[in-house]
A = this chain, B = another copy of it.
């Protein structure tokens, strides 16, 4: 018998956009390419020695326990640290039982999709938005409604219309140094969003992987303060310690704890417990604040270097969003220049970046034909200068 395995594939998975970024990465890891494309943190800043010390301590002091099966909810010591950090840094009082450890914050997105989304349920998401969130939610086949971003945050009129007409179960936000645009929601914008959502039965997700990486200005109010009953907080150690351990977390209201734990049991039983213990030990024995300060200073300088090079080499009519923190610059090309065409030209000149289209809500790709994301964190000063210069030449050639 001839077996047709393709016929077995679910409808669900056909709706998930592939990661253009991962495809790009395969191109951009060629050694002679200067890449502004990645979403990776700078590995030169990883606390390798401190992680080694923490690993050894965990294995020496409680090796058998650290290597055995563990609880689905996550390590208690780590969750206590997270609760205390919210208290110390943001004045938030988060009960331990509402914090679940996840296998990276990507898993938190998958679990939320699983636990909340029936097919065709509406969700609202920043446009352009984080591709990983678009992917994770797509699996559950919701109807996705993009909320355009302005320099100060979500477009309030569009959000009001979508909340009113679509009644989305979820509103997904990265309010600090957003991926891909680097923008930060203003206090006024946050208050307006919270006021609108408080009148609905929607939940707001505050995904905050870069929040601690602020270069300038004051930290903004958490949505948890403005909208405590309806805010889900997500966090991650990927950008402030290391990514490969895949340790993130989510804060959920009481009603969602049990379904989230059941969904997590079914997905992977529990998150790598050795790695949870490594992070907890690292945090007990080191000053995270000092480490973050080092990352901040380094990334801020790189950002300044890139902005300076852009001023020198980009055509004057390219608009650039200056971020207050995080990892990304966002550029908007003058009318008529396609960032995808620029990408193809740039690759020939051995420079990579991510064009805006993959960050668009599916179906709304046209809104991002002339936008582009530039990461400033993994390349050195000389490469920034050389890469931006080449990009500028490509732009000039095309305009």
Contacts and interface: CB of A to CB of B under 8 A. Distances in A.
Ordered nearest first, which 5 A-B pairs have the shortest CB separation? A48-B63, A244-B273, A67-B242, A43-B64, A5-B255
Contacts of A115: 9-10, 12-13
Contacts of A51: 59, 63, 67
Contact of A132 (B4, B46, B55, B269): B269
B262 A16 contact: yes
30 contacts: A1-B200, A1-B201, A5-B201, A5-B255, A10-B114, A10-B117, A12-B114, A12-B115, A13-B263, A16-B262, A16-B263, A16-B266, A19-B265, A46-B63, A46-B64, A46-B68, A48-B59, A48-B63, A51-B59, A52-B63, A55-B55, A69-B244, A106-B266, A106-B268, A106-B269, A110-B266, A132-B266, A244-B272, A244-B273, A246-B269
Nearest to A43: B64
Q: Which of A4, A63, A69, A136 has the most CB of B within 10 A?
A: A69
Contacts of A12: 114-115, 118
A56 interface: yes
A141 to B, nearest CB: 11
B243 A201 contact: no
Given A10-B117, A40-B69, A68-B40, A135 B266 contact: yes
A243 B135 contact: no
A103 interface: yes
Contacts of A243: 67-69
A8 B116 contact: yes
Interface string A27-55: 00000000000011101101010011001
Contacts of A66: 244
Contacts of A6: 255
A214 interface: no
A65 B200 CA distance: 45
Q: Which of A12, A118, A275 has the most CB of B within 10 A?
A: A12
A7 interface: yes
A88 interface: no
A224 interface: no
Nearest to A56: B52
Contacts of A271: 246
Interface string A192-203: 000000111101
Contacts of A117: 10
B107 A268 contact: yes
Nearest to A67: B242
A104 B246 CA distance: 14
Interface in A263-304: 263, 265-275
A3 interface: yes
A242 B59 CA distance: 13
A132 B41 CA distance: 35
Nearest to A247: B272
A259 interface: yes
A12 B271 CA distance: 22
